[in-house]
Each structure stands twice: as C-alpha cells, then as structure tokens.
Amino acid sequence: MTDIKRPFSNPLALAILVLLYERPMHPYEMAATIRERHKESSIKLNYGSLYTVIEQLLREHFIAVRQILKEGKRPQKTVYQLTATGEVELIDWMRELVSSPVKEYPMFEAALSLLPVLPPEEVIGLLEIRLGLLQKTLEECTEEERKCREMKLPRLFSLESEYYKAVTLAEFKFAKDLLSDLKRDAAGLRSGWSEMRKQHLAGKAGARKKPPVGGAARKKSKSEGRA
C-alpha cells in the first residue's frame, strides 16, 4: 500500500495528462479521443468535470496553455500542453498505480457489510437477480473480445477490458457461492441470520411498547401539581 498524497486522485486527470503526453490538445479533442478509444467505460467522462479538472491541472502547473485558436465565427479553442512538472507527476503516478494496491470501496462490498438489515429469504432472490445481470455483463465482455480480435487490436489496448472481465467473474463466483450457501444453510448461515433478525425485531417491538424515558415521571409530576 502507498501513503503518497497526490494533488489528484481522479482518473480523468490522469487521462488528460496521458493525452497531452502524446500531443497538445483542446478539451473537445481530449473528450473525442477518450470516446474514440472506448476509455469512457473505465474513466468517467462528462464535459463539466473535464473543464474543472483542466482548471485544477493548470493551477498545479501540470499543464499550460499552448495557444488559443480562433476560426471565423466559431468559439475559440484553447490548446493545452503537458509541462515538465506534469510529465514527472504523470510517470510517478502511473508507477504508483501499477505497483501499489489501494483500498477501494465498491458499493457491493458496502452492501455486504450491512446485509443483516435484509432477511435472508429476500437476499436469495436479490442475489439471483444479480447473477443474471452479471451473466449478461460477462456475455457482453465476450462479445467485446470477439470484436477486438476481428479488429486485430493489440492486446495492450484492451487490458482494462480483461481486468474488468476478471473482476466480474470473481464477483459472479462469490455471489453464486454465497447464494448456494444460503440455500443449503451452510454452517447455519441462513438459520443463524434468521434467528438474529427475529431477536432484533422482537427487541424493536418491545422498545415501541415502553414509554419514553422520563415520560412516566413527568406525568406523575403534572398530576401532583394539579392536586
């Protein structure tokens, strides 16, 4: 794990630095290139955030304005270039990302950590839905691989797709195994879960019947005052 604190953690900032490492570009060309290379499936892109990140990179002196183009009545275009400082940041950042695992916080992992809020019977149905959607995603990954082979695309440029498929496969296997364990109540997973929820719900029902703390004392005090 790494403890290096960088000015940016946004993958879009990294993508901009890489694009400008290739050649100077204006923002529209950056966005078009990301989409043309199908990198928007790995890097979240919208024009609002693109311009915001560009401004941040300018403040850090990682990029600079190369020239401003004006063509007739069309809006002017600002062309940016990578600075020497930006190139150092880019290479260091890439080395860090490739070499050092970072703790991430996927939403499914968060849901698993809070799963007792749902009954196991419902989770069984939800996992079946998830497995169906994951299966569809895996089929789309296979189709994408076929297209890459037809295009004779070098493997280097589809590694992120390989990684995504591997991660999806791992999640599919985990969800499938969890579903199986719930259905057969492996190690008392389902029955223990149900009993825990039963006790929790009983405790909540009992708490609702109790008067608020201090409520009885206040009522008694008011009765004495009227007397």
**Top-tier CATH class for 11-99:** mainly alpha
Query: CA–CA separation, 173 vs 17, rounded Å?
Result: 36
Helix ranges (DSSP H) in 100-211? 107-113, 120-150, 159-183, 189-209
Distance CA 13, CA 20 (A): 11
Extents of the domains making up the chain? 11-99, 107-209
Per-residue tokens: 226: 């009227």
pLDDT in tens, the chain (227 residues): 455 678 888 999 999 999 999 999 999 999 999 999 889 889 999 888 999 999 999 999 999 999 998 877 777 899 999 999 999 999 999 999 999 998 899 999 999 999 999 999 999 999 999 999 999 999 999 999 999 899 998 999 899 999 999 999 999 999 999 999 999 999 999 999 999 999 998 888 888 777 766 655 555 555 555 54
Query: Both tokens of residue 93?
Result: 């950042």
- Residues 90/148, Cβ–Cβ less than 8 Å: no
Please state the pTM of the whole predicted model: 0.82
